[in-house]
Amino acid sequence: MTDASLAADPRILSLMNDTAIMMDELSRLSRKLGDLGKEQEESRNGHDVVADLQDHFRAFAERMKDFSEESRRTISGLDNNVHSNPYVFILCALGLGFLLGKAMRSSGK
């Protein structure tokens, strides 16, 4: 299995998509936390803000749980592929190491 086929693997693409969604969710949560002080100054009930944040964190925790389970399944599948075709992965690793060594050596000159 080559790097291109790993990148085209739907499980990998799904994990990459889930990661992007998680990063977006983290970004929204951090903005929400940043706005917490501003909202309290605007005389909004602090309890409402806390309840909103709790809802966001619960949703995020559920997404993280799903992501964790999906990543375990994907890693297990990749592990099974490695065990069923060890020589292919060894050759790919050696080839990649060789190419990286050549690139590092040529950039050092």
Report, as an integer, the average pLDDT of 94-106: 90
Is it the case that residue 15 has pLDDT exceeding 70?
yes
Q: How confident is the model at residue 47, as a pLDDT?
A: 66
* pTM of the predicted structure, to 2 decimals: 0.43
Domain ranges of the chain: 3-108
* DSSP tag of 58: H
| Measured CA angle at 74 (ends 70, 80), to 5 deg | 145
Is it the case that residue 94 has pLDDT exceeding 70?
yes
Report, as an integer, the average pLDDT of 84-98: 90
Using alpha carbons, select from 14, 22, 107 the residue that is nearest to residue 62. Answer: 22
> pLDDT tens across 24-82, in order?
887 777 777 767 666 665 555 556 767 777 888 888 888 888 888 888 888 888 888 88
Q: Distance between CA atoms of 25 and 62, rounded to whole angstroms?
A: 12
* DSSP tag of 85: S
